[in-house]
């Protein structure tokens, strides 16, 4: 009888076991494990394993699962603690699904434990179709939310990972979608460090993300999935990353087919692995056999990549008895449970951003006849956005409104026909909006009602990933990036016709990227931004509209007045982009959102007004709810460098907290600023704290530039000075 091989001995360290297992493999077997659909190695009892899984806002593409609000909605909560709870619930469902599938011999795509999420690319341009997947345009908000999500996914066990999180797409990636396989995103060292890298750094260094996905594009000439700068110098050497890197799907093939950096598949595969990309989503890494034969890569380098991959599998407990891995005991009954539905509802509630209210909201439940009109009013698919699972139940806005109102209140419904009309977009002058026969029905419905709730916006048809069919029906494909920012003309024309009836109108928007509605801002009674709110979205919308929930979401991005406010989409220079560098007047500012409650700020204290470069700065403020309505307030802290020697942001978010206050209740909120948070990035891409004056603004919104240095009624401004 032979002794048990070392890799099966659970008394040994993972490192020892992995070294032993990989040493027993042939070159061909090692390479077979470097692709996302790794085959079984039966002679070594290594099971088949598929690395590709998704859980952007719930376990995706694997049947029934809880569908939470889309990523941009998570960012709009400004509540990392809640996002952490949501990620913990998602990973519970992921574990339960995986083990149920494995017990039945199912080890295919979408049932593994390595998840290609979160998307922490900066939403630098509102036209980008995948910005909806991110947490917004700000590096600090993105980092805090991303860290919370990664920690929730990976768990807190000292030995095992719950699941593996994969921040993506590393690192400078946010459109254009149609050019992503060949595009070179050129970014300065300053923009890299101030904008494009911080969220990745935080999810790796602070949250311990065990995987990172490279982007399709090049960054400053280097293919991201084979970049010595990104993968070796920054990720591994500077940040100390010891996990594995996976390519985006087909990105290794792009290196020779589209970027044309090298000429062959063997060269592309060798270039990627030599520079630290361990796993290929695609079909190029089998060419590593030829690459070794040609002397393009050593077997020792392949060993290093394979060991990283098996370390991940061992840390997931895949080679240990299930009874030794607590996460394997999570019951399948947790999947799509009522507890998780309530969590989805809470996330949807907290994501709602009230953009306008002339006093009409909250609506009385005895308002009279309510007309619910619009293409997104009763479409359960639009609630899911993209990368979604199948919810056991989904509540549309129409269903939520009907459920919250007494039976005697009449609720009329008309879909208003189309979400989008291509010919009307191209030739707006070709049709007079008041004369279409199809408009007669919704306009007459509006005329007979006491209030209209118009539920419009966009869908995956008008924004999404290149080639995306998810979230659509009838074989449709997403248009990817957007060309304009406005509400589709067919909806705006209908909205104008309804407004002309004289019936008060409340506009509810469902979307992932910002929709600019200047006409509605001037004319309708109220506007609610609901994003893609997930399976409980309709309930949350109704609760906000009728006063069962007091909205407190804040915009995680800038809503510009028009596309004319934006630089060229292909230009990755941050000048003129996002609230940190845009000097114009937005329609709605980053950090903006209304409430049914009123809050007053007082007693801003900057503990030390003179500090040294390596000191921290303590800031506190008193916040009081002076209304008779309980509600949440999002306290925001911004820093402005007054005397910088290099270009810096106009100001930048460096602290926030969401707190609940009962009527008359007050609370002291404290922040701690580290030197990194008031440093500049010099011309060499290094963080440096300079001497000089800094302003600190605290309030429930982003300060306007004119409010520095004196502040205003609801924005308090303090200062401190860094001395030599």
| Cα–Cα distance for residue pair 452/440, rounded to 1 Å | 15
In this predicted structure, the answer to whether residue 429 has a pLDDT above a threshold of 90 is no
Contact in structure between 372 and 412 (CB atoms under 8 Å): yes
Instruction: Please tell me the number of Cα atoms within 13 Å of 600 on its side-chain side.
Output: 10
Distance between CA atoms of residues 485 and 512, nearest Å: 12
Same domain, yes or no, for 265 and 372? no
How many CB atoms within 10 Å of residue 103? 10
- 592: in domain: no
Give the confidence band of 3 by pLDDT, cuts at 50, 70, 90: confident
Quick one: pLDDT band at residue 434, thresholds 50, 70, 90? very low
Domain at 349, CATH number: 3.40.50.1700
**Considering the domain boundaries, does residue 672 fall inside one?**
yes
3 domain-assigned: no
Kindly report the average pLDDT of the chain as a whole number. 96
Of the candidates 385, 373, 381, 383, which has an alpha carbon nearest to the alpha carbon of residue 411? 373
Query: Does 91 share its domain with 77?
Result: yes
Task: Please count the structural domains in the chain.
Answer: 3
220 and 180 within one domain: yes
> Which among 581, 612, 628 is the end of a domain?
581
| 548 and 636 belong to one structural domain | no
Compute the CA torsion angle 142, 145, 148, 152 (nearest 10 deg): -100
Across 120-221, the runs of DSSP E, i.e. the strands, are 184-185, 211-213, 218-219
Whether residues 96 and 150 fall in one domain: yes
Q: Does 553 fall in a domain?
A: yes
> Mind telling me the catalytic residues?
248, 463
Same domain for 284 and 244: yes
| Nearest partner of 496 among 518, 528, 463, judged by Cα | 518
Same-domain check for residues 86 and 44? yes
Q: Is residue 663 part of a domain?
A: yes
Percent of the chain with pLDDT over 70: 98
Question: Rounded mean pLDDT of 362-375?
Answer: 97
Residue finishing a domain among 334, 369, 390? 334
What percentage of the chain reaches a pLDDT higher than 90?
Answer: 95
Is residue 593 situated within a structural domain?
Answer: no
The rounded Cα 347 to chain-centroid distance in angstroms is 14
Cβ proximity of 371 and 451 under 8 Å: yes
Same domain, 100 and 145: yes
297, 319, 334: which is the final residue of a domain?
334
pLDDT at 418 (0 to 100): 83
Q: Are residues 438 and 300 in the same domain?
A: no
Q: If pLDDT is split at 50, 70 and 90, which confidence band does 431 have?
A: low
| Closest listed residue to residue 241, CA positions, set 176, 180, 165 | 165
Domain that residue 366 falls in: 340-581
- Report the alpha-carbon distance of residue 269 to residue 300 in Å, rounded: 15
The pLDDT value given to residue 1: 44
SS3 of 613-669: the string is CCCCEEEEEEEEECCCCCEEEEEEEEEEECCCCCCCCCCEEEEEEEEEECCCCEEEE
Same-domain status, 203 and 303:
yes
Whether residue 227 is found in the same domain as residue 132: yes
Q: What is the pLDDT of residues 184-230, one digit of tens each?
A: 999 999 999 999 999 999 999 999 999 999 999 999 999 999 999 99
What is the CATH classification number for the domain harbouring 628?
A: 2.60.40.10
Is 174 within a domain? yes
Residue 612 lies in a domain: yes
Contacts of 400 (CB under 8 A, 6+ apart): 537, 538, 539, 540, 541, 542, 543
Domain co-membership, 385 together with 315:
no
Where b means 16+ CB within 10 Å and e means fewer, 68-77 reads bbbbbbbbbb
Note the pLDDT of residue 432. 52
């Amino acid at each position: 009888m032979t002794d048990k091989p070392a890799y099966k001995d659970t008394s040994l360290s993972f490192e020892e076991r992995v070294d032993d297992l990989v040493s027993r493999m042939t070159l061909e077997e090692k390479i077979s494990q470097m692709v996302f659909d790794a085959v079984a190695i039966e002679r070594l009892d290594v099971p088949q394993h598929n690395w590709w899984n998704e859980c952007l806002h719930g376990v995706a593409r694997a049947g029934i699962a809880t569908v939470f609000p889309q990523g941009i909605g998570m960012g709009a909560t400004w509540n990392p603690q809640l996002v952490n709870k949501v990620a913990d619930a998602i990973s519970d469902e992921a574990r339960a699904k995986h083990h149920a599938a494995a017990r039945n011999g199912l080890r295919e795509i979408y049932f593994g434990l390595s998840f290609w999420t979160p998307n922490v690319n900066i939403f630098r341009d509102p036209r980008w179709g995948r910005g909806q997947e991110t947490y917004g345009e700000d590096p600090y908000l993105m980092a805090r939310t991303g860290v919370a999500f990664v920690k929730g996914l990976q768990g807190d066990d000292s030995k095992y990972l719950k699941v593996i999180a994969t921040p993506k797409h590393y690192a400078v990636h946010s459109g254009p979608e149609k050019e992503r396989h060949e595009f070179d995103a050129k970014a300065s060292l300053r923009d890299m460090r101030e904008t494009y890298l911080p969220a990745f750094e935080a999810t790796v260094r602070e949250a311990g993300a065990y995987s990172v996905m490279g982007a399709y594009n090049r960054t400053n000439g280097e293919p991201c999935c084979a970049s010595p700068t990104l993968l070796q110098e920054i990720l591994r050497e500077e940040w100390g990353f010891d996990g594995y890197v996976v390519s985006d799907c087909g990105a290794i093939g792009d290196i020779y087919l589209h970027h044309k950096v090298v000429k062959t598949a063997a060269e592309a595969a060798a270039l990627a692995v030599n520079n630290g990309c361990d796993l290929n989503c695609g079909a190029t890494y089998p060419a590593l056999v030829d690459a070794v034969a040609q002397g393009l890569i050593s077997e020792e380098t392949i060993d290093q990549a394979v060991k990283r991959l098996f370390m991940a599998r061992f840390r997931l407990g895949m080679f240990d008895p299930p009874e030794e891995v607590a996460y394997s005991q999570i019951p399948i009954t947790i999947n799509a449970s009522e507890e998780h539905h309530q969590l989805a509802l809470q996330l949807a509630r907290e994501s709602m951003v009230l953009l306008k209210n002339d006093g009409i909201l909250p609506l009385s439940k005895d308002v009279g006849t309510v007309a619910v009109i619009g293409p997104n009013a009763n479409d359960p698919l639009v609630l899911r956005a993209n990368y979604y699972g199948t919810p056991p139940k989904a509540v549309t806005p129409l269903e939520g409104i009907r459920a919250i109102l007494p039976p005697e209140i009449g609720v009329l419904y008309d879909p208003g026909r189309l979400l989008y009309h291509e010919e009307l977009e191209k030739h707006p002058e070709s049709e007079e909006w008041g004369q279409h026969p199809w408009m007669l029905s919704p306009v007459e419905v509006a005329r007979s009602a006491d209030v209209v709730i118009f539920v419009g916006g966009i869908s995956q048809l008008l924004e999404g990933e290149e080639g995306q069919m998810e979230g659509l029906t009838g074989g449709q494909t997403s248009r990817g990036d957007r060309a304009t920012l406005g509400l589709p003309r067919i909806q705006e024309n209908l909205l104008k016709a309804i407004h002309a009836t004289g019936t008060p109108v409340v506009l509810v928007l469902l979307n992932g990227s910002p929709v600019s509605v200047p006409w509605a801002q001037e004319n309708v009674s109220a506007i609610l931004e609901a994003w893609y709110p997930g399976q409980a979205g309709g309930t949350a919308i109704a609760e906000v509209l009728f006063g069962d929930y007091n909205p407190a979401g804040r915009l995680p991005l800038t809503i510009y007045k028009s596309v004319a406010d934006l630089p060229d989409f292909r230009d990755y220079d941050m000048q003129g982009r996002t609230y940190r560098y845009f000097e114009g007047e937005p329609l709605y500012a980053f950090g903006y959102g209304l409430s049914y409650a009123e809050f007053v700020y007082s007693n801003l204290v900057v503990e030390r007004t003179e500090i040294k470069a390596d000191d921290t700065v303590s800031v506190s403020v008193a916040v009081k709810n002076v209304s008779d309505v309980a509600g949440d307030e999002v306290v925001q802290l911004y820093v402005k460098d007054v005397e910088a020697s290099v270009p810096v942001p106009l100001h930048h978010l460096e602290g926030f907290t969401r707190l609940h206050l009962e009527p008359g209740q007050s609370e002291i909120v404290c922040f701690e600023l580290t030197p990194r948070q008031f440093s500049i990035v010099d011309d060499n891409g290094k963080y440096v704290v300079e001497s000089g004056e800094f302003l600190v603004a605290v309030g429930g919104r982003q300060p306007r530039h004119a409010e520095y240095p004196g502040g205003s009624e609801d924005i308090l401004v303090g200062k401190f000075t860094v001395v030599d």
